[in-house]
Amino acid sequence: MGRVNSRLAKLHRSYDVAELAQLLGVHKHTVRSWLKDGLPVVDGTRPVLIHGDEFQVWLAKRTKSKKCPLKLGQLYCVKCREGKRPALEMVEYVPLNDTTGNLKAMCETCGSMMHRRVRRTAISAVMPKIDVQITQASPSIGVRTTPSLNTDKLAED
Ligand SMILES: [Zn+2]
């Protein structure tokens, strides 16, 4: 999809799906997919009406979140479809190997489990001011029993 000029939508006007599509030069399906993506509509109208100013705000936010998906201290929530702070500032780090692991936390908004892959050395940079709990991924005895050749290979990843 090309760049959409949201300024074409007038602030104090409402549009139905076809009008907005025509105005912006996009397909009606595109506008419908925006509605599914959370584009706000005017309450209780049939057909659905979209406020020009709400459309502008929504599109700006969406464009921005695509450019910079995660801020410091955030993990990506699949349900909210944006970066969210961990509930109660509780974050767990589950190592995948010696250098990398997954941060796990609950979304402050919806309570879904969120994940973010980070290097172990980057934890404090990615989650500033948050006391990240480091978890042992699996009992170390289990890891040690694997043939040393394989372990070396994994560590290089
Ligand atoms: Zn969420």
Domain 6-67 has CATH 1.10.10.10: yes
The distance from CA 147 to its chain's CA centroid, rounded to whole angstroms, is 38
How close is the Cα of 55 to the center of ligand 1, in Å?
22
Predicted pLDDT at 11 = 80
How close is the Cα of 80 to the center of ligand 1, in Å?
4
User: For ligand 1, a single-atom ion, which residues have Cβ within 5 Å?
Assistant: 77, 79-80, 107, 109-110, 112
Q: Tell me the pLDDT band of 94, cut-offs 50, 70 and 90.
A: very high
How close is the Cα of 88 to the center of ligand 1, in Å?
14
CA distances to 21, 70, 73, 126 from 129, in Å: 45, 16, 8, 10
C-beta of residue 130 within 8 angstroms of C-beta of residue 89: yes
How close is the Cα of 87 to the center of ligand 1, in Å?
10
CA distances to 66, 93, 154 from 83, in Å: 10, 18, 30
Domain coordinates in residue numbering, the chain:
6-67, 75-156
Q: 26-60 pLDDT, tens per residue?
A: 999 999 999 998 999 998 888 899 999 999 999 98
Q: For the chain, what percent of residues have pLDDT higher than 90?
A: 61
d(CA 91, CA 5): 39
Q: 3-15 pLDDT, tens per residue?
A: 788 788 888 899 9
Instruction: Give the mean model confidence (pLDDT) for residues 94-109.
Output: 95
